[in-house]
Structure 1
């Protein structure tokens, strides 16, 4: 009599706790969405405090606002493109120009082929992006005399040089905001100032000079 065949119990291979396309990916996507949402909300909050964010302004309306302004004047508005969040409208040497701002991988940057810049910087906040190029423009204006600036403006170079000198406000900024800008321009160590906590919090909510 043959003995019954031995039953070999093979342990099933352990399933991956988070297989591809599973809940782990969903959590990572949700986490990324939370980070993106937080960054975008922070940017919008800063823009609303800035005073030169015009919201759902059209390109034609932005052109009308910028036409009588000096070269280097600029404003921020919502982008009409579904692929971009914001647009920076600038008065250049050839008239008002609109530069879309993209958001990708947690960074804001200029999405434009008309800028005379070999490499464009990107930042975690759209305010930091605009401030970087604005401060660079102001430094260049200080280095160049009026005649050199005029020569640069009428250059035969077909590329448009990005010059961000003065933001155009929707309305007259509040006095407390103007004071905050003055303090931000004079120091980057707000936390060390001998001020009440509530006032420090107000200053830290908008750490920019524009």
Structure 2
């Protein structure tokens, strides 16, 4: 059995749990995430969290009120991803809707992502986001990465992925180190 723990620096780490021992309350990090019982789900969440860490719009354990306050004065469709405070949900999408900031749970079931109340499913969280960015309703438009300017490296990475596509990264005539950098976040969102 594996468990996902929230660390204090807006990230997560995966560690094996000890099946025979019952941990002492003071020795276990505070988290609402349930233990994984499925290796594939653990790998999916681990990879998603790794990508989210490099996205710039992942805010970790941000409270709903704070997320809504950050989005309140931003343009319609601006969004961020944060940890859900609900025990059986990993992520929440918070965005600026026509009626003001709102949040919706990102559900994961049988290895696919969906928004609560939607029948659309996606094998990747970033596919889900891309779908709602491109939809005619324009529910989502741009991610909120905070007030700090993005680095030139981050901007260049997204531009390369947008120009050539995720599937072409391996064929690019660039160094192995640069390809590794591109694979840290192979999305143009």
Fold shared by both chains (TM-score > 0.5): yes
Q: Helix, strand or coil: the match of 1:57? A: coil
Cα distance, 1:32 vs structure 2: 6.8
Query: Which residue of structure 1 aligns with residue 91 of structure 2?
Result: 86
Structure with the bigger percentage of helix: 1
Structure with the bigger percentage of strand: 2
Query: Which residue of structure 2 aligns with residue 77 of structure 1?
Result: 82
The one of 170, 184, 189 equivalent to 1:205 is: 184
Query: Which residue of structure 2 aligns with residue 61 of structure 1?
Result: 66
The one of 107, 110, 116 equivalent to 2:115 is: 110
Distance in 1 (CA, whole Å) between partners of 2:87 and 2:142 is 28
Distance in 1 (CA, whole Å) between partners of 2:86 and 2:37 is 23
Runs of 4+ in 1 over 4 A off after TM superposition: none
Contact 2:50 2:184 in 1 (8 A): no
Distance in 1 (CA, whole Å) between partners of 2:178 and 2:130 is 23
1:43 aligned onto 2:19: no
Deviations 1:29-50, CA, capped at 9 Å, x for gaps = xx97111111000000111100
Structure showing greater Rg: 1
List gaps (5 residues or longer) in structure 2.
1-35
Distance in 1 (CA, whole Å) between partners of 2:154 and 2:138 is 27
User: What is the TM-score when the length of structure 2 is the normalising length?
Assistant: 0.74
Tell me the matched-pair count: 151
Query: Which residue of structure 2 aligns with residue 166 of structure 1?
Result: 142
Query: Which residue of structure 1 aligns with residue 20 of structure 2?
Result: none
Contact 1:88 1:101 in 2 (8 A): yes
Distance in 1 (CA, whole Å) between partners of 2:105 and 2:161 is 27
Query: Which residue of structure 2 aligns with residue 196 of structure 1?
Result: 175
List gaps (5 residues or longer) in structure 1.
1-30, 113-118, 141-160
Query: Which residue of structure 1 aligns with residue 28 of structure 2?
Result: none
Higher relative contact order (CA 8 A, sep 6+): 1
